[in-house]
């Protein structure tokens, strides 16, 4: 099957069945989402959502977080992965947000990446979710699912290579949605271990299914 056909099937399925996907992180402002995404690095959204209510109660805005310190922030996020580094990043991010961006979360990937703890993936998430910009954040789920489906070649071995491939073939107005489609599909169906291929609606046009699962069934 041609790559163009795979993209068409992928986009058709999700636009029809999940037209308005959303992040599973809980937030009520761009600032809160930025904090949550920084915390979510190598950590589950579920765990982050358990921690952020008390964190946001104590630090409801960039100013309050900027006025705090690493030690205090650590006490609120100690159950998150890498709490020491993330506490430093959060305080540094908040101070830069207040001092350089007038407490407003910037809309460009370039400006977002200037802040501590904000790499390209985090910046793309904010640009995509908050500002609906055509930015594709590539996490482990997006990386795995897009390669398995055949949306990107197996030679795309870095997140940046996968990102460039996806944004080239997905219409701009759907990129911010496709980001969620790939993440949620990877989280609940196309899991890293034991993907649910026989329950997956994308199997008919999935390269992984064609090359691995069908063969295994045939030989079993």
Structure tokens at 89: 């990043």
Structure tokens at 98: 């207040």
Is 200 annotated in some ligand binding site? Answer: yes
Is 190 annotated in some ligand binding site? Answer: yes
Interatomic CA distance for residues 205 and 220, integer angstroms: 22
CB 97 within 8 A of CB 105: yes
Is 206 annotated in some ligand binding site? Answer: yes
Active-site residue (options: 121, 157, 172, 214): 121
Three-class HEC string of the chain: CCHHHHHHHHHHHHHHHCCCCCCCCCCCCHHHHHHHHHHHCCCCHHHHHHHHHHHHHHCCCHHHHHCCCHHHHHHHHCCCCCHHHHHHHHHHHHHHHHHHHCCCCCCCHHHHCCCCCCCHHHHHHHHHHCCCCCCCCCCHHHHHHHHHHCCCCCCCCCHHHHHHHHHHHCCHHHHHHHHHHHHHHHHHCCCCCCCCHHHCCCHHHCHHHHHHHHHHHHHC
Is 197 annotated in some ligand binding site? Answer: yes
Active-site residue (options: 3, 111, 139, 214): 139
Establish whether 139 is a catalytic residue.
yes
Indicate the annotated binding residues.
190, 197, 200, 206
The catalytic site residues sit at 121, 139
Binding residues for [4Fe-4S] cluster: 190, 197, 200, 206
């Amino acid at each position: 099957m041609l790559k163009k056909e795979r993209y068409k099937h992928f986009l058709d399925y999700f636009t029809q069945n999940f037209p308005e996907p959303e992040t599973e992180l809980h937030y009520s402002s761009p600032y809160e989402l930025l904090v949550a995404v920084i915390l979510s690095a190598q950590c589950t959204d579920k765990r982050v959502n358990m921690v952020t209510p008390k964190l946001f109660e104590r630090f409801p805005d960039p100013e309050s977080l900027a006025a705090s310190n690493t030690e205090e922030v650590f006490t609120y996020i100690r159950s998150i992965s890498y709490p020491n580094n993330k506490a430093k990043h959060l305080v540094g991010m908040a101070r830069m947000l207040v001092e350089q961006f007038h407490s407003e979360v910037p809309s460009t990937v370039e400006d977002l990446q200037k802040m501590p703890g904000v790499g390209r993936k985090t910046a793309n998430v904010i640009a995509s979710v908050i500002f609906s910009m055509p930015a594709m954040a590539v996490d482990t789920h997006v990386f795995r699912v897009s390669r398995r489906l055949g949306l990107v070649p197996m030679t795309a071995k870095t997140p940046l290579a996968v990102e460039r491939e996806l944004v080239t073939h997905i219409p701009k107005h759907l990129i911010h949605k496709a980001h969620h489609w790939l993440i949620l599909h990877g989280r609940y169906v196309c899991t890293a271990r034991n993907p649910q291929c026989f329950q997956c609606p994308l199997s008919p046009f999935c390269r992984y299914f064609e090359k691995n699962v069908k063969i295994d069934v045939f030989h079993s």
